[in-house]
Amino acid sequence: MNANIKLGRIWGIPIGLSTSWFLIFGLVTLSLATNYFPREYPFLSTVVYVILGVLTSLLFFGSVLGHELGHSFLALRNKIPVRSITLFIFGGVAQIEREPSSPGVELRVAIAGPLVSLMLSGLFGVLWLVSQDFAYIAAPAEYLMRINLMLALFNLIPGFPLDGGRVLRAIVWKSTGDFYRATRVAGMTGQIVAFGFIGFGLWQMFQSQFIDGLWWIFIGWFLQNAAAATVTQTKVQRTLQGVTVAQAMEPNCQEIPALMPLSTIIDQRVLTSGQHCFYITDGENILGMLSLKDITSLPKTKWGFTTAYQAMTPFNRLLRIDSGMDLLSAMQAMENANVSQAPVMEQGRLVGTLTRDRVINYLRTRTQLGM
Ligand SMILES: [Zn+2]
């Protein structure tokens, strides 16, 4: 998702707007002010249509945020951290840090969003009923009742990554006891639903409803990508299940004397052996780690008189990984720390290096072997 505008925090969760959101906000406002309100409430003035359009659109996206907060609330209650909530062109997304630990948790987190939408729909429905004589309130309330109901129903379509797909995954997971299989099933229905949307969009375009058709195609395409990515990710997780860091690490890493200049390292080590990372030693102890990134972050002209010691990252500032750790958690830790390599320790002793390239290679080999 592209650049984010930060709005603030709710329950400690950063709330953001993607720049793509402004497009959909504009479209919804425009369609409310020029089409929906004049059609449903024809006796108001243009200024009123515009003001109502903006306010209703804001409340609509507030409702979308409410839906995502519903998911987040249940996630937090089940001790699953929520990284962020972002509103973007296709609605909202709560970035839940990890997969739910049980089908029950998955079900509750998934259903909470549509439940909030249903409740909001009911609330706006009541408001609409009691404000019949007052169009300024009845008009937005009626729209918000409808749109929240649609939001709930749309999200309950049983295709991953829609909430309904998660519900389906929870059910299959519960009945088979197999999380990976459940994800495959939900991902598969997700792709079928996505292609259904694309097909429907194409059909609409042939009915010369060009914009509506295009919209369905985009949503379908977006869902298709998300469903495929989840299935791939699950495959990776399954492949790496039970694999430890020790199995995928680079066991021996080159040591380099602290005073060696970077230019010598480039000429004699990087270009000849193709190695990308080195441990810097004073002859006895490891002082730090030097990566190609550390070298290239300095201007070339300085390589001749900068020593390895000066350019390295000191050992106590490095993310260190235990050799017995499972590979997935290690990769997650590296991802969070934004590093592509980390020293591997065993009982306080350096035993190797884990690099992203190495993990990718390892994964590729296992996939080729059908493991
Ligand atoms: Zn949802």
pLDDT in tens, 44-100: 787 878 888 889 888 988 998 899 899 989 888 988 888 888 877 777 777 777 777
Cα-to-centroid distance, 243 and ligand 1 (Å): 33
The rounded distance, in Å, linking the Cα atoms of 200 and 195 is 8
Q: Is residue 166 in a domain? A: no
End residue of a domain, out of 218, 238, 258: 238
Q: Is residue 167 in a domain? A: no
- In terms of DSSP H, where are the helices of 6-134? 20-31, 37-40, 46-77, 103-130
Q: Is residue 60 in a domain? A: yes
The rounded distance, in Å, linking the Cα atoms of 359 and 341 is 10
**DSSP single-letter state for residue 79:** T
**329, two tokens:** 């958690």
Positions in the chain whose pLDDT score sits under 50:
1-2
Sign for the pseudo-dihedral over CA of 262, 263, 264, 266: positive
Q: Is residue 218 in a domain? A: yes
User: Do 119 and 230 lie in a common domain?
Assistant: no
Cα-to-centroid distance, 127 and ligand 1 (Å): 24
User: How would you classify the pairing of strands 313-314 and 341-346?
Assistant: unpaired
Phi/psi region, residue 348 (left: phi>0; alpha: psi -120 to 50; beta: rest), is left
Cα-to-centroid distance, 109 and ligand 1 (Å): 9
User: Do 267 and 125 lie in a common domain?
Assistant: no
The rounded distance, in Å, linking the Cα atoms of 139 and 20 is 27
Catalytic residue among 68, 99, 142, 335: 68
End residue of a domain, out of 156, 186, 217: 156
CATH code for the domain of 301? 3.10.580.10
Cα-to-centroid distance, 278 and ligand 1 (Å): 46
User: Do 270 and 295 lie in a common domain?
Assistant: yes
Let me know if 68 is a catalytic residue: yes
User: Do 12 and 148 lie in a common domain?
Assistant: yes
User: Do 209 and 295 lie in a common domain?
Assistant: no
Cα-to-centroid distance, 22 and ligand 1 (Å): 20
User: Do 304 and 263 lie in a common domain?
Assistant: yes
Q: Is residue 15 in a domain? A: yes
User: Do 229 and 274 lie in a common domain?
Assistant: no
User: Do 13 and 152 lie in a common domain?
Assistant: yes
User: What pLDDT sits at residue 119?
Assistant: 95
Per the listing, tokens 């694309």 go with: 198
User: Do 27 and 135 lie in a common domain?
Assistant: yes
Q: How many structural domains are present in the chain?
A: 3
Cα-to-centroid distance, 163 and ligand 1 (Å): 5
User: What pLDDT sits at residue 371?
Assistant: 64
pTM for the model stands at 0.66
**362, two tokens:** 């390892």
User: What pLDDT sits at residue 278?
Assistant: 81
Host domain of residue 209? 174-238
User: Do 180 and 280 lie in a common domain?
Assistant: no
The rounded distance, in Å, linking the Cα atoms of 209 and 369 is 49
